Amino acid sequence: MKKIVTLIFGITLCTFLQAQQKVDPTIQKITRMEESIKDYSIAILNATEMLDRFRADSLFTRGLVQALKVPYSFNYRFDSLITISKLYAPDSSFRIFTWQIMKDFSSYLQKGAIQMHTSDGSLKLIPLFDQSDYTDFPVDSVRDATNWIGAVYYNIILKTWKGKNYYTLLGYDENNAKTTKKWMEVLTFDNAGKPVFGGRYFDYPPDSIKPPQPAYRFCLEFKKQAGAKINYDPDIDRIIFAHLVSENGEIREKQSLIPYGSYEGFRWQNGKWVHEKNIEAGDPSPGPNKTNDPNQRQKN
């Protein structure tokens, strides 16, 4: 019996070592590529001159794509790229990379790409092109990857309805010198596997702060640095967000809107996010460190 146990242990150990020999070179290769673009990822956020930020973005993007081309890169987490948001879908069907570049002190550009999970480890990458600057009504239409309303995402919530998956993305946009935007965007995939952003997924009464209906995505715009929160609370299965008020009584001036201290929210019901006027909640900030904002982590 002892000999049999020893034999089984020996076979298991050999199998493990063989697997390690196959995996390690791949991990080492991606790790080296990650290290080569880490400084560029920081420069995208911190470089003083606009041209330097865009140059860093170009070099970073090129290096990231090359790293993702390594077979089975989907499982590699790129943990050292702390200024880049990297979110896996709850069902691991895809992950989404997003980040932003400050063009000047009053304008930002978001960048992004969706990496789909593939059974053979090959790369299926869908680039996202931010078209926010080219529309006055970013909430009024369904969009695809070529005319995405850019955001840096910090959470993904998976819901289902009639056998279909709906991925709700929560993100932010530094927007301009006066206001910040927080976005709630429902992502689905069509029969060809292409991403579809937005739809009639929001049921709420009109007011002067929320986007006018029909809204194909939900937005909170508020005073810069006001820190209005919007995130999913799994304990109550709600997306909760700060109730905003105007500090000067001019409610249509987005730069005057600040959190009041109470919360509203949405619950998923029959394929839509349905508004709830008052929600009791603690701190709705994401994660144990109270932020999933990669730019904020870098500032800290």
Between CA 43 and CA 156 the distance in angstroms is: 27
Amino acid letter, 170: L
Quote the mean pLDDT of the chain: 89
Give residue 285's pLDDT.
Answer: 46
Q: Name the residue with tokens 């089975």.
A: 72
Q: Which of 21-30, 40-49, 54-63, 242-251 has the lowest mean pLDDT?
A: 21-30
Going by C-alpha positions, the residue among 146, 133, 140 that lies closest to residue 195 is: 146
Helix (H) or strand (E) holding 120: none
pLDDT at 10 over 60: no
Residue 300 — pLDDT band, cuts 50, 70, 90?
A: very low
- H helices present in 126-209, as ranges: none
Average pLDDT over residues 56-76: 97
Which amino acid is it at 260?
Answer: Y
Q: Are 142 and 216 in contact (CB under 8 A)?
A: yes
Mean pLDDT of 204-219: 95
Whole-angstrom distance, CA of residue 140 vs CA of residue 116: 27
Find, among 145, 148, 150, the residue nearest to 195 by Cα.
Answer: 145
Residue 242: CA count within 13 A, CB half-sphere: 23
Contacts of residue 255, Cβ cutoff 8 Å, sequence gap at least 6: 178, 179, 223, 224
For the stretch 212-267, pLDDT in tens is 999 999 999 999 999 999 999 999 999 999 999 999 999 999 999 999 999 999 99
Quick one: tokens of 226? 């006001």
Q: Which of the four pLDDT bands, split at 50, 70 and 90, describes residue 106? A: confident
Q: Round to whole Å and give the CA distance between 43 and 50.
A: 10
* Confidence band for 51, pLDDT divided at 50, 70 and 90: very high
Give the residue among 110, 133, 167, 169 at the shortest CA–CA distance from 295. 110
pTM for this prediction: 0.86
Share of the chain above pLDDT 90, in %: 81
Residue 8 pLDDT > 50: no
- CA angle 116-124-162, nearest 5°? 35
Altogether, the residues listed in the chain come to a count of 300
pLDDT at 218: 98
Q: Which of 15-29, 101-115, 185-199 ranks highest by mean pLDDT?
A: 185-199
Looking at residue 4, the DSSP 8-state letter turns out to be H
74 Cβ partners below 8 Å, 6+ apart? 95, 115, 117, 118, 121
> Given this model, what pLDDT does residue 104 score?
85
Nearest to 153 by CA among 199, 101, 96, 196: 96
Average pLDDT over residues 270-289: 72
**Mean of pLDDT values over 274-283:** 82
Higher pLDDT among residues 18 and 233, named by residue: 233
Q: What pLDDT score was predicted for residue 206?
A: 87
SS3 state of residue 21 = helix
Express each pLDDT in 135-170 by its tens digit.
999 999 999 999 999 999 999 999 999 999 999 999
Average pLDDT over residues 79-103: 97
Give yes or no for residue 114 having a pLDDT over 50: yes
The fraction of the chain above a pLDDT of 70, given in percent, is 85
DSSP 2: H
| Pick from 3-7, 24-28, 66-70, 202-206: least confident | 3-7
